[in-house]
Amino acid sequence: MQFGHFDDEAREYVITTPHTPYPWINYLGAQDFFGLVSHTGGGYSFYRDAKLRRLTRYRYNNVPVDDGGRYFSINDGGDVWSPGFRPYKTELDSFETRHGMGYTRITGSRNGLEASVLLFVPVDVNAEIHRVELTNTSDAPKSFSLFSFLEFNLWNAEDDQTNYQRNLSIGEVEVVDGAIYHKTEYRERRDHYAVYGVNAEIAGFDTDRDTFLGFGNGFDEAAVPHAGKAGDSIASGWYPIASHQLEVTLEPGESKAFTFVLGYLENPRDDKWEAPGVIRKDGARELLAKFATDEQTLAEFEKLNAYWDGLLGSYTVESGHEKLDRMVNIWNQYQCMVTYNMSRSASFFETGMGRGMGFRDSSQDLLGFVHLVPERARERIIDIASTQFEDGSAYHQYQPLTKRGNHTLGSGFNDDPLWLILGVAAYVKETGDFAILDEMVPFDNDDSKAASLMEHLKRSFDHPLNNRGPHGLPLIGRADWNDCLNLNCFSTEPGESFQTTGNRTGGVAESIFIAGMFAAIGPDYAALARRRGDDAEAERAEAAIEEMKAAVIEHGWDGEWFLRAYDYFGNKVGSAENPEGQIWIEPQGFCIMGGIGVEEGLAEKALDAVEERLGTDHGIVLLNPAYTEYHVELGEVTSYPPGYKENAGIFCHNNPWVIIAETVVGRSEQAWDHYKRITPAYREEISEVHRLEPYVYAQMIAGKDAVRHGEAKNSWLTGTASWNFVTVSQYLLGVRADYDGLVVDPCIGAEVSEYTVRRVIRGATYVITVTNSGGKGATLTVNGEAVEGSLVPYAAPGSVVEVTATV
Amino acid sequence: MQFGHFDDEAREYVITTPHTPYPWINYLGAQDFFGLVSHTGGGYSFYRDAKLRRLTRYRYNNVPVDDGGRYFSINDGGDVWSPGFRPYKTELDSFETRHGMGYTRITGSRNGLEASVLLFVPVDVNAEIHRVELTNTSDAPKSFSLFSFLEFNLWNAEDDQTNYQRNLSIGEVEVVDGAIYHKTEYRERRDHYAVYGVNAEIAGFDTDRDTFLGFGNGFDEAAVPHAGKAGDSIASGWYPIASHQLEVTLEPGESKAFTFVLGYLENPRDDKWEAPGVIRKDGARELLAKFATDEQTLAEFEKLNAYWDGLLGSYTVESGHEKLDRMVNIWNQYQCMVTYNMSRSASFFETGMGRGMGFRDSSQDLLGFVHLVPERARERIIDIASTQFEDGSAYHQYQPLTKRGNHTLGSGFNDDPLWLILGVAAYVKETGDFAILDEMVPFDNDDSKAASLMEHLKRSFDHPLNNRGPHGLPLIGRADWNDCLNLNCFSTEPGESFQTTGNRTGGVAESIFIAGMFAAIGPDYAALARRRGDDAEAERAEAAIEEMKAAVIEHGWDGEWFLRAYDYFGNKVGSAENPEGQIWIEPQGFCIMGGIGVEEGLAEKALDAVEERLGTDHGIVLLNPAYTEYHVELGEVTSYPPGYKENAGIFCHNNPWVIIAETVVGRSEQAWDHYKRITPAYREEISEVHRLEPYVYAQMIAGKDAVRHGEAKNSWLTGTASWNFVTVSQYLLGVRADYDGLVVDPCIGAEVSEYTVRRVIRGATYVITVTNSGGKGATLTVNGEAVEGSLVPYAAPGSVVEVTATV
């Protein structure tokens, strides 16, 4: 069942009913000001930090679900409704929400009146725009009232939902020239405020929630819109809100548009008052002046669209397969951008109050983002590397505002170091900016301990080598990529962290997955060393990689697939000899990506076992059989009910590793098949099962052991986005940046028989036309000339290179 | 305006409309299992710790306010309603909620059907009982469906509202024999579970919230009650709930009662399963068997009432003034018990996730609780003293589960040590248990550093002496009683703690309030020393007290009132020379309680200034004039908008100090007048202004500078309860325990011309009949014999002592 459809021309997903199986959201903003908005107008806004600068209030896990947001209410002769359906749930004559690139347009109509709300964050502006267009589609004049509404958060989102004994006494606002200023705590240590204004004369306003809603009422019973008359209330404590009343008259066929602006402003600390107790408002006045006319608003919207045209132009495909094209050209890249901006902070599953930036997360997010805005990727690399320790290990997370490592979580996730190499290599391949390797970067944010980025990569490379267990395989530490495989923790108390509580320093628990990473990512370190002229270092690295691969073959192969790990006691994890958790997905993907067992024929054997034991119609589960009991020696993975999350859920993040592995062994049909099972556009028709947005990946789909097999959770903020984009763009479509040129090496199902990739990199444009009959190993021509191998050398900036590839 | 009335005979407050100006709540439970319940059924339940063992889910600051709780829904031929009005808000023919001692009874009727829900936590049982009695008041038979409902919290209340990426995948339940078992995380590290059962055959059940409510619906739109048919749903992740369906038929005039039991059970860690994946349920079955019949349930309810009869029998008054009597005999003591149980953890203003037990808070709470259950007070004293440091300072808070000091907040609140002396003295006076002074008590929870409790008191006494500033007055440290007067902090960044951030060790900022405390509380230390035969120590103490009093007279008197403090720079705080914050309430109360300036006539002068400058019809504000700007050198007090909280709000906690001070100087009319202004029963008629419960004190009433002057906030959990009970029982009615006997020294308005106090202490009963014409200085007879002075010596256990007092 579908609840909408794609409009690829407009780069939009069009939701045609308010009754989706979950709130389907979009993100506004790409720089400092951000908003989350659901298809019925729910959500919230923040400046930079979703915890510390939350502008508007939103309630997670609410009843009703997704109640509260930016609401526009119409009182048309006593009939009260909202174009977004919620909160009133008044039946509409038409409803449509279009989620686009950085904007959302919600349109509803009733009784001959159409209301369309366009929400976006303009480029280079710290504000969210709500442009409300009202059209009289009837044949008689119409006069009605329009009410805006949003509820302010008292800035710190965590404090806002815990510290009521203080917070209910501190709310303050000002209302000047029809604009509503939120200034809670401005009297003391804040130098920032919010404004909500509109480019029209207002008939009234409200800033006190109890006045607007009526005490004890739900949003659906809001008193002021039902009365058709604002209370002109000034909040004093309790719950400050912002609402404007506009009186509108429209002739038949006439349209009017109003621009509401929710802005965030800062003042100099020593010049923050206009008069005693009165905020200095220069900034707000300038901001509102930018949106004084509808033409100005529409021009800003055009700028936003142009911004996205630019971003999405670096990699496009035309294949005639619309689902493939829309994922590659629009939604997967869009999700990569959102993931890069948000890390794992704010979604409808992440409250914005929790995690900082992950060392591993951000390094992986880079892979899907580096071609969009390379200069921001460069900055992120330096930030990440600055939280590394001298021994190559790293803070697992760091705080985005301070860029300091998170002490609570600390270090000891032994996969972390290698991801830095992968991210830096991707950046250098994209840009050719080898100079970044000479940048002096601190260890542990201590400038006195700075070393070149290349030295950081050396420490990264050496960390797994220096921390090996009895079988010569890398020690796992607190966990590797799978945060829930905790072989040294042995947690017995509820509420304890599975990762950081009572860690043992056994020196025994080893990860075959990290060994696979070492084999897959290590060669990039060797390549960078060689390109810097350090052949000895490159050879040392290559020898170490070969040694590791041999260790995996000897101690990491279970007979039909790769083992997952050795536990604290030296017992096998992920072996046919285990009663549960016999086979795990991660080492199968990464060992083969590292070339382990490919020549020996182990790779295909492992991939066959994956399909046989882990494959489902909804994707590949993480392990099998699911654990039915908690195993203190395995940790969090066994804490989940069977089929959910790491305990045999379908983790869409690691499915791509298997897909890439299938391309490594040249099995294009299997790779293509795996891709389609988890990719949202291909799941759109089963939205009633999948439940989440059909335009972005979710972290997890419930596995075959779950009661709700096929149901997705945790959409939007997941490394799934970048890994799937890497997979489809670089391995299936087969166009990937290398140090000296583009590799063109398609391996995609024969179903995709012809396609053209347009790739802009290092200033040149490559038009790559592929004729495909499945399998692998293309024959190339470059500008009409046949070439050997799969490399298309980089051309001069400005040039256009025509490539053909025949598989 | 009133929204109900007192029923003193039943010890109940009767709320007669759902439309109170705020949810008016009650507490269930007095030992380990607790519930909060509003007059419309909102609220939640927990076992011992409101953060770590939250049984049911509640949303603070919700829209609609107070939505979610224990709901009983009736579908009577398609007409759906609830006796508590919410969530459906179906109009009722009658509505009444009675909050009693540890129970609440909610009764509603509609269309000839009456439903009455009695909620209580039985004595010595870890469960909450919901007894639902249904009566057919029509003259025709009635058949209808009854649905129970509650929503489970996933145990850790903080994690429950933040960690959705995990929590939405882990919910698990079992349904066996009509009982619903909540077992989320039981599969892993929890050995406890909840059960919700009923003593009747069920027609169906639900455990999945989306099934019960219908996805996207509010509680008021709940699908199952409207359909009249349970979904028999088994939750798998998302949101586990518990709902039973009962089919009921009643003849005209017939009643039936059902007992629903929400229980908390623990299993042995190594024997927690009945079968693989199936919880061992012995405990739950035993629990449910205790409430198998209505007779059993009613017997447990009678036990609860008897328990409260016993508790409230230690101090009663009959004065003919019903407001006075009901506060003293019922509600003030009840609030003291709740405050003692909850500390500051869980109310409708405190989320149960924040603060631990306060050193100061708990010491003060003792004052109002010690006569109720002295043995629990003894235990609390040892817990508190164990968190003291060797220098006499103390952790400002400690965690109730671990009884360890809270490192985040640390020490340095320089009033803390003295409160311990006050609490211990009150306990010894109540019980005669001098042996407690010889108990060995650790410092900083380190048994190797144990010393006698008397030694702890010495360290307490010496702490202010050892930490004096330039004027010989006690250094204030991070803050004294007024947590918001932060003279050493200088916080400039939003979100920083005003108390613990960047504290300076100036050695200059002094507190006249602590000096007053020293004068008021120090004599109890001297008395205890003398009674232990240590006259030298007593004399040393008394000399130190005199020295301190002299220092206050010399450096702490501003001319018309007592100064508040000297700041970091040695400038005066609370002086006529300041433009704002000229006079503060705290030192006026406590200095006079300490006898400072009484002989010199300064006391009356200060109290006149209090009335003139701080007095309002709603009580005495904390300071005047209110601060209009933030002063970094004064701290949090200046962060509040004028008239709210510490910035010139009416802090009901410190009003009693002024009332006691008025009795010290013998001004009975002023004392009585001040008492009535803040005491809830006297404010019942202005409930539309006061807004909060008219049966318990609130922490604050907005002051005269506030927009909402007279509006209360933060009801229930405040030291206000104990201090007002001390004031009215010991100083106004004038019956207070001393070491050798009861002091009888009334000082109450002439309006209260005759009254009898019945006091049970140390096993004897004292019946004290007072004839009062105002002023102070009673003439006593004991068992008919005239006695000198105000002391009635303690009599042998079992005896009844008749006392008369004439003022």
CA–CA separation, A602 and A578 (whole Å): 20
CB contact (8 A) between residue A708 and residue B237: yes
A595 vs A425: CA distance, rounded Å: 18
Q: For residue B227, what are the contacts with CB-CB under 8 A and spacing of at least 6?
A: none
How sure is the predictor about A356, in pLDDT bands with cuts at 50, 70 and 90? confident
A520-558 residue pLDDT tens: 999 999 999 999 999 999 999 999 999 999 999 999 999
pLDDT of residue A99: 98
**Greatest extent of chain B over all pairs of C-alpha atoms, in Å:** 84
Query: Which percentage of chain A shows pLDDT scores above 70?
Result: 100
Report the amino acid identity of residue A543. A
Which residues in A442-454 are b (16+ Cβ under 10 Å) and which e?
Answer: bbebeeeeebebb
Residue A155 has pLDDT above 80, yes or no: yes
Nearest to A90 by CA among A62, A122, A113, A121: A113
Gap between the Cα atoms of A711 and A724, Å rounded: 19
CA distances from A119 to A334, A530, B538 (A): 17, 50, 75
pLDDT of residue B410: 82
Scanning B313-389, the segments in alpha helix (DSSP H) are 322-326, 332-342, 359-369, 374-385
Give residue B490's pLDDT: 94
Shortest distance between the Cα of B124 and any Cα of chain A, in A, equals 25
Specify the pLDDT at position A34: 97
For residues B11 and A256, give the distance between their C-alpha atoms in angstroms, rounded to a whole number: 62
Q: What is the pLDDT of residue A88?
A: 97
Q: What is the rounded distance in angstroms from the CA atom of residue A768 to the CA atom of residue A672? A: 20
Q: How far apart are CA B167 and CA B159, in angstroms?
A: 8
The answer to whether the CB of A130 falls within 8 A of the CB of A259 is yes
Of B215, B236, B237, the CB nearest to A21: B215
C-alpha closest to that of B248 among B363, B89, B397, B113: B113
Q: Which residues face B152 on adjacent strands? A: B56
User: Which residues, other chains included, contact A357 with Cβ-Cβ below 8 Å and sequence gap of 6+?
Assistant: A343, A383, A384, A397, A398, A399, A400
Mean pLDDT, rounded, for A699-709: 97
Residues 152-181 of A with CB under 8 A from B: 155-156, 159, 161-166, 168-170, 172
Write down the pLDDT at residue A520: 98
Q: What is the pLDDT of residues A170-217, one digit of tens each?
A: 999 999 999 999 999 999 999 999 999 999 999 999 999 999 999 999
**Which residue of chain A is at minimal alpha-carbon distance from B270?**
A492
To the nearest 5 percent, what fractions of chain B are helix, strand and coil?
30, 30, 40
For residue A504, the model assigns a pLDDT of 81
- Which letter does DSSP use for residue B794 in this model? P
User: Domain spanning A734-806: which superfamily?
Assistant: Maltose phosphorylase, domain 3 (2.60.420.10)
* Partner-chain contact B215 A65, CB within 8 Å: yes
For residue B234, list chain A residues with Cβ-Cβ distance below 8 A: 707
pLDDT of residue B779: 97
Tokens 């132009």 label which residue?
A313
The 10s digit of each residue's pLDDT in A48-97 is 999 999 999 999 999 999 999 999 999 999 999 999 999 999 999 999 99
Q: Touching check for B9 and chain A: CB below 8 Å?
A: no
Q: Facing residues of A398 across strands?
A: A357, A405
In the CATH scheme, what is the code of domain B31-310? 2.70.98.40
Torsion of CA A693, A698, A704, A710, to 10 degrees: 0
Cis? peptide before A64, omega within 30° of 0: yes
- Chain A residues in contact with B59 (beta carbon < 8 A): 59, 62-63
| Cα→Cα distances A139→A107, A116, A251, A496, Å | 20, 19, 8, 66
CB–CB contact A644 B699 (8 Å): no
Closest chain B residue by Cα to residue A496: B189
pLDDT at A402: 78
Q: Where are the domains of chain A?
A: 31-310, 343-462, 468-600+623-649, 734-806
Average pLDDT over every residue of A657-665 = 98
Give CA separation, B145 vs A597, B72, B78, in Å: 66, 10, 10
| ipTM exceeding the 0.85 mark | yes
Q: Which of residues 627-646 of A touch B (CB under 8 A)?
A: 628-630, 638-641, 644-645
- Per the model's pLDDT, the better-predicted residue between B408 and A676 turns out to be A676
Q: Give Cβ neighbours of residue B674 (< 8 Å, ≥ 6 apart).
A: B619, B620, B655, B658, B659, B662
Determine the average pLDDT of the residues in A743-767.
98
Q: Kindly give, in sequence order, each residue whose CB lies less than 8 Å from that of residue A396, ignoring residues fewer than 6 positions away.
A: A358, A359, A360, A406, A409, A410, A411, A412, A413, A416, A478
A506 interface with B at CB cutoff 8 Å: no
| Distance of residue A190 Cα from the nearest chain B Cα, in angstroms | 6
B 362-391 near A (Cβ less than 8 A): none
Structure tokens at A10: 């407009």
Separation CA B303–CA B101 (nearest Å): 12
pLDDT at A696: 98
Catalytic center residues of A: 483
- Which residue(s) pair with B136 in the sheet? B113
Q: Which parts of chain B register pLDDT below 50?
A: none
CA distance A72 to A41: 9
Q: Average pLDDT in the A767-786 region?
A: 97
Structure tokens at A307: 């911004």
Q: Are strands A446-452 and B583-584 parallel, antiparallel or unpaired?
A: unpaired
CB atoms within 10 A of CB A507: 13
First to last CA, chain B: 36
User: How many whole angstroms separate alpha carbon B73 and alpha carbon B212?
Assistant: 12
Strands B779-782 and B800-806: antiparallel
Give B308-313 contacts, CB < 8 A, sequence gap 24+. B308/B11, B308/B101, B308/B102, B311/B337, B311/B372, B311/B373, B312/B11, B312/B101, B313/B758, B313/B760
| Fold match flag (A31-310 vs A468-600+623-649) | no
Structure token digits, residue B492: 């400039």
E strand or H helix at A105: strand A103-110
Domain boundaries A468-600+623-649, CATH class: mainly alpha
CB-based burial of residue A497 (10 Å sphere; 0-12 exposed, 13-18 middle, 19+ buried)? middle
Mean pLDDT for A332-350 is: 95
Interatomic CA distance for residues A691 and A645, integer angstroms: 16
B682/B100 Cα distance (integer angstroms): 19
A381, amino acid identity: I
Verify whether the Cβ–Cβ distance A494 to B217 is below 8 Å. Answer: no
Contacts of A699 in chain B (CB under 8 A): 165
Q: Which residues of B touch A164 (CB under 8 A)?
A: 60-61, 349-351
**The tokens of A552 are what?**
């995996």
Which pair of tokens denotes residue A172?
Answer: 């303050």
Chain centroid to CA B195: how far?
28
Q: Is the pLDDT of residue A399 over 90?
A: no
User: Looking at the domain B477-678, which fold is it?
Assistant: Glycosyltransferase (1.50.10)
Distance CA B50, CA B29 (A): 13
CB-based contact B494 A185, cutoff 8 Å = yes
How does pLDDT run across A101-151, given as a tens digit for each residue?
999 999 999 999 999 999 999 999 999 999 999 999 999 999 999 999 999
CA B385 remoteness from chain centre = 21
The answer for residues whose C-beta is within 8 angstroms of residue A725's C-beta and 6 or more apart is A328, A332, A333, A336, A367, A368
Contacts 24+ apart (CB under 8 A), A631-635: A632/A490, A632/A491, A632/A492, A633/A487, A633/A490, A633/A567, A633/A568, A633/A569, A634/A485, A634/A486, A634/A487, A634/A567, A634/A573, A634/A581, A635/A479, A635/A484, A635/A485, A635/A486, A635/A487, A635/A489, A635/A491, A635/A498
Q: What is the per-residue pLDDT across A548-557, written as a single tens digit (0 to 9) for each?
A: 999 999 999 9
**Residue B693 CB neighbour total at 10 angstroms:** 29
Residue A355 pLDDT exceeds 80: no
Tell me A473's DSSP state: P
Omega within 30 of 0 (cis) for the link into A122? no
* Position A406 pLDDT exceeds 90: no
Residue carrying structure tokens 């590839």? A805
Exposed / middle / buried, residue B366 (Cβ in 10 Å: 0-12, 13-18, 19+): buried
Instruction: Spot the catalytic one: B365, B415, B416, B483.
Output: B483
Query: Which is nearest to B281 in space by CA: B296, B294, B295, B267?
Result: B267
3-class secondary-structure state, position B668: helix
Does A164 contact B349 at a Cβ distance shorter than 8 Å?
A: yes
The answer for residues whose C-beta is within 8 angstroms of residue A678's C-beta and 6 or more apart is: A618, A619, A650, A652, A655, A697, A701, A724
Distance (Å, whole) CA A73 – CA A80: 7
Best mutation target, B71, B174, B188, B211, to test chain A (most A CBs within 10 A): B188
Bridge partner residues of A81 (DSSP): A74
At A404, the pLDDT band (50, 70, 90 cuts) reads confident
How far apart (Å, rounded) are the C-alpha atoms in residues B789 and B787? 7
pLDDT at B524: 98
Torsion B9-B10-B12-B13 (CA) sign: negative
Planar angle of CA B424, B734, B598, nearest 5 degrees: 80
